[in-house]
Structure 1
């Protein structure tokens, strides 16, 4: 009785204790933040702009969209591919389950959230999806035969939809679990080293996404593979696409890993990697305005999508192919970059392109110069694409193209450059006009000489 009275007295004297106790319990239930996380929920500021760009339409991969309405039809196909995997490899289902179970903690740490699934549910999801992807990659690359009644490869449209869905940030599977399943196979993969296996899986994945990597359709896949084999391991398919766009060595430092900096070989240091400034970026005039000021535009190097250069009045921009899925690719790359990496290569690229393209006339100029391959068809739609992609992104003071913008603005401000451009565009733009101007100048000079001679003779 006396103890109860003392406790009541303490509560009366300190009314904050119940709230403190409750909050301590709440904080104690927080799950630790994993440094291995690489598959995130898309930030709401992105999702509000275009919900469909981040939502799978045909297949769910991993736990984040598992069981969603509208994706049920593909679940049966995924299980059939798991069955084919087991029959082809002669690996027991028990061994597969054991392999996934051994990796469960690491797998869960890769996702922003998995708390809604029990251990058995989670292992089932990962195993079905991983086996499905392994079979899909092998069939696509001709490594295993395609059955006559295959419901996926007999319908090309489904393959295209799958490739699109498998680029989504929330629809990823860690690539190491695919390598683990390849380890279980016999006779169909290289086995001399982990690096060789990783390269094998990366090669299969690159070939699968080549037709969809429309941002740099003309890029050399062999050079991409050679470079990727010398970098840190790729996290998942979306990370693979991002790294393939950064074909020259640029910094790819995950958030929270500031001490882990990838060294940049001197031969690969480009304008993109070395221009860093604390100056707030000022956008450039549009390409049409720059062209009217004398700037010429040419297709730049295909080794790096972000390697935009300006030298001696010539602006070189790597070629980009824009089709119906380009917006989905760029939006998910943007979201992944903002969530996972310290750098802002995609963000800064979209910022500079937004500055270059203001309307359909700008699109026409870049298409005419071969810098944009417009598969969309509608010029206004393409212009709107570049202008709207920047909505919701967060850039910082280390703008990759700050020096480029300063050089372009300085060139644009020169009256001499504008005057020379006006002469070149209006009077010397065709051989006939050039000859006409030369003839007019010669006639003027002859007239002047004749006038001077007449004055002298009269005098």
Structure 2
């Protein structure tokens, strides 16, 4: 027993110190099992949790190529970048909620440089297309840009923002051409990528305000999604939240929240009108939302986003609910890979005319009359007969009044 005690004591003495500052977590198995693909990178690994996985290796060459272009613009040598990361290795490792045992110091530092260089170069090219090269397989053909960026929003696929920002700043200190990074900061290119593309609405000023205290991309989004106003906390006695269809039948009107709202979570009801901030749903929206929920829960934040998801899930309980929100211009349904751009969409003129036509009340009334009352010959005859009967009744009433 003494020998066993010594062995166990030795293990206890060698336990790695766990930092209270961790912010990057591995999703628990019960959460992962329900939707494993929502928490696992499909194309690219960022950070240590999925580093080296066989199915993600095809992207490693692209990551290294991006790093190469990033380094070619600066006079700062690779060895300097590696030393810079090495000096911050302990802080970087402490950002992860579990000990990174599978990567030694050199491998860990190299991984951080490759992944950080790749992310910075991606954001640069997204912000300034002139950085895109002819051999770019992410922004040119085959285009992977829109497929890859949701991998950047996974709980397990994060690098701390501080190292990305610091490496970008270090590269800017000595470049071969000052115009390379003119009026560009890492904050600016990050905000440009996140604003109105991943989760809407995300206000640019809010992104800039929260950036200094954000741990990583997911944290930055959640900080920006905090409700803009505090709500009175009352006990919810009846937890049966009515759906949009039920509310519509009760006479509730729906409208997108005023443009001044700063948060997706600002849902308000006043004088029979339910205001919901405009939001778009694409094929990868659920994936992003599940990771935001998982991070919010694991990081110990108050469950503002969780409450929003519960509210919206109850409001939109069937296709008819979604249809009503689309009709009231609160919701847009789309596909990530086929998002129309405002400047080069070939049907922009047709769409503009269709939108203007749809908004005219007369067209809506005429369509409703035709669809509801003249959709079959018998329905048309019934309506005409009813109108004739109404006119005859009115004529008879007028004649009786005149006779008096």
**TM-score for both structures, normalised by structure 2:** 0.75
Query: Which of the numbers 228, 246, 250 marks the counterpart of 1:293?
Result: 250
Distance in 2, Cα, partners of 1:159 & 1:274: 39
Q: How much does 1:35 deviate?
A: 1.7
Q: Are residues 1:84 and 2:84 paired?
A: no
Distance in 2, Cα, partners of 1:142 & 1:40: 32
SS in 2 for 1:169: coil
Once the two structures are superposed, the pairs formed by residues 179-218 of structure 1 within 5 Å of their partners are 179-186=165-172, 200-210=185-195, 212-213=197-198, 215-216=199-200
1:96-140 C-alpha deviation (Å, 9 max, x unpaired): 111000010000011122122111111111111111112222222
1:348-386 C-alpha deviation (Å, 9 max, x unpaired): 111111111221111111111111111259xxxxxxxxx
Distance in 2, Cα, partners of 1:239 & 1:156: 31
Instruction: Indicate conservation of the 8 Å contact 1:203/1:225, yes or no.
Output: no
SS in 2 for 1:46: helix
Query: Which of the numbers 122, 129, 154 marks the counterpart of 2:140?
Result: 154
1:150-171 C-alpha deviation (Å, 9 max, x unpaired): 2322136311122111111111
Distance in 1, Cα, partners of 2:331 & 2:86: 47
Query: Which of the numbers 152, 159, 162 marks the counterpart of 1:166?
Result: 152
Q: How much does 1:36 deviate?
A: 1.3
Q: Are residues 1:104 and 2:63 paired?
A: no
Instruction: Indicate conservation of the 8 Å contact 1:164/1:212, yes or no.
Output: no
Q: 1:220 to 1:166 in 2, by over 3 A?
A: closer
Q: 1:376 to 1:149 in 2, by over 3 A?
A: closer
Q: Are residues 1:31 and 2:16 paired?
A: yes
Instruction: Indicate conservation of the 8 Å contact 1:245/1:305, yes or no.
Output: yes
Query: Which of the numbers 327, 332, 336 marks the counterpart of 2:295?
Result: 336
- Segments of structure 1 that go 5 or more residues without pairing to the other structure are 1-10, 12-16, 190-198, 251-267, 378-428
Distance in 1, Cα, partners of 2:335 & 2:77: 47
Distance in 2, Cα, partners of 1:134 & 1:41: 24
Q: How much does 1:32 deviate?
A: 3.1
Query: Which of the numbers 220, 223, 227 marks the counterpart of 1:243?
Result: 223
Once the two structures are superposed, the pairs formed by residues 343-422 of structure 1 within 5 Å of their partners are 343-375=302-334
Distance in 2, Cα, partners of 1:281 & 1:112: 38
Distance in 2, Cα, partners of 1:280 & 1:110: 41
Distance in 2, Cα, partners of 1:361 & 1:355: 13
SS in 2 for 1:366: helix
Number of equivalences:
345
Name 1:303's counterpart in structure 2: 262
Instruction: Indicate conservation of the 8 Å contact 1:163/1:212, yes or no.
Output: no
Distance in 1, Cα, partners of 2:204 & 2:301: 27
Name 1:409's counterpart in structure 2: none
Name 1:129's counterpart in structure 2: 115
SS in 2 for 1:63: coil
Name 2:239's counterpart in structure 1: 282
Distance in 2, Cα, partners of 1:150 & 1:293: 55
Name 2:214's counterpart in structure 1: 234
Instruction: Indicate conservation of the 8 Å contact 1:283/1:352, yes or no.
Output: no
Name 1:50's counterpart in structure 2: 35
Distance in 2, Cα, partners of 1:188 & 1:93: 13
Q: 1:234 to 1:281 in 2, by over 3 A?
A: farther
Instruction: Calculate the aligned-residue CA RMSD, in Å.
Output: 3.5
Q: How much does 1:211 deviate?
A: 6.3
Instruction: Indicate conservation of the 8 Å contact 1:43/1:335, yes or no.
Output: no
Q: How much does 1:324 deviate?
A: 0.7
Distance in 1, Cα, partners of 2:131 & 2:334: 33
SS in 2 for 1:70: helix
- Segments of structure 2 that go 5 or more residues without pairing to the other structure are 176-183, 337-367, 374-385
Name 1:408's counterpart in structure 2: none
SS in 2 for 1:185: helix
Q: 1:157 to 1:281 in 2, by over 3 A?
A: farther
SS in 1 for 2:233: coil
Distance in 2, Cα, partners of 1:324 & 1:188: 42
